[in-house]
Amino acid sequence: MTNLPIEFENRMKRSLGDEYEAFLEAFEKNDYKALRINSLKISKEDFLKLNIWNITEENRVEWCEDGFYFDTQDTDYSPGKHPYHWAGLYYIQEPSAMSPVEYLDVKPGDVVLDLCAAPGGKSTQIAVKLKGEGMLVSNEPVAARAGILSENIERLGIANAIVVSELPERLSDKLGQIFDRILVDAPCSGEGMFRKNSEAIDEWSEDNVLMCAKRQQDILDEALKMLKPGGRLVYSTCTFSENENEKNAEYVTDNFPDMKLVFSRRLWPHKDRGEGHFFAVFDKNTVSGAGDDYEINDSNGRHSSKNGHNKKDNSRKNNIGVDKKMLSDWYGFKSSLMTEAGLKKLNEEGKRYLLFKDELYLIPDNMPALDGIKVLRSGLHLGTLKKGRFEPSFSLALYLNPEDCINNVNLSFEETLKYRKGETLQKEGNKGWNLLNLDGYSVGWGKVSDGIVKNHYPKGLRK
């Protein structure tokens, strides 16, 4: 690659020494492509049995148990265009970008913040590790990118995520110290994208590197205000600049004495099968009694401060903007359509209902007060409460499995393609709402009557 900025080349020569030529040669090779299995929907074993794109255990990404390299040569459908992708069975992700979350040490039940989350690769990776328990707050300040983030959260059937679009300082001011784990995958100068994106080369400059480094420090300042004592923060970039990487790790330890650098690592394109990444892992010292208080919404939408012992018990019984009488149509829909497995999956324990206008959500019971914060998605969007009836959402379809529903219609590969285009299908099924699925994996809702399936695939997503 002959068009790399000369200042960048000189810096990398000084940094890498004898390794520079190997580093430069890596830019002339094809980039590595990978996907990460969404084990909320399919196990690794079942995915490998699908036997697509010649993926086997030997193709596993070294630092991610659910990540696999793929080669799309001689295939009719690439992973990004396959119905399995629409169904959320996997997320296509640059392989080295899978590394930071593996060191975040997320456990089911944790409260986690992904501060710079779009397009959603690392957020969806975090959600898999939460296994439907606890809460994920995924933030993206840029509105257009936040919309893409929200769509990916929906596609992968994630029910316990709150998608917001705010500047870090707004979040730290509103939410306070409530997170067990925080990921800061900071916006950077993008040197790790040079091989894949020529625009990253055109936009690069030393001044931009320094500007990014300062902005990253500002983001870290706000992130650390939101980390509980005893919590963990992982900072990462996809760039090679020491100013944006090691020096920012030093910035944290120099300015925050309660933060300990546990581990840091660089992935290099000439050493590892990826574009390159840096991440640093920090643990915060434990201070007894700190970080237990934050605001939750009461049943009237008002704020109240609850200590760590009482917040769950008090919030669980309070829904927001809705009472049980208003939920009668939802309860009727649920009881008539869900199997025992589906009812168990939609168990209200540990959750609350939220009604925004006529849209019904099932939210984590410890969701903090979000007044003044731009919210794109609150937990699981169940559907719309209309006069005398309930209309299920696309999010609910992608959250459920066929075994969760009494009414199911199995689609062929070709029928699934037609369904995504918005076409009406001729299929037999039980009258009313049916969960449509391909090979046992849900793809959306259809309404059956007299051998016709009326298409309810969202119009904005049709292809």
Question: Which one of 116, 188, 238, 405 is the catalytic residue?
Answer: 238
- Active-site annotation holds for 238: yes
Give dist(CA 343, CA 334) in Å, integer.
Answer: 7
Burial 298-317 (b: 16+ CB within 10 A, else e): eeeeeeeebeeeebeeebee
Rounded to the nearest 5°, which phi and psi values hold at 282? -120, 140
> CA dihedral in degrees (11, 13, 19, 24; nearest 10)?
80
Cα–Cα nearest to 403, from 429, 438, 346, 441: 441
Contacts of 129 (CB under 8 A, 6+ apart): 101, 104, 106, 107, 108
Q: Do strands 277-284 and 227-237 pair parallel, antiparallel, or not at all (unpaired)?
A: antiparallel
Considering Cα of 148, then 150, then 156, then 161, what sign does the dihedral take?
positive
Identify the three-state secondary structure at position 434.
strand
* CB count in 10 Å sphere of residue 222: 17
Q: What is the DSSP letter of 369?
A: P
Which residues does the annotation mark as catalytic? 238
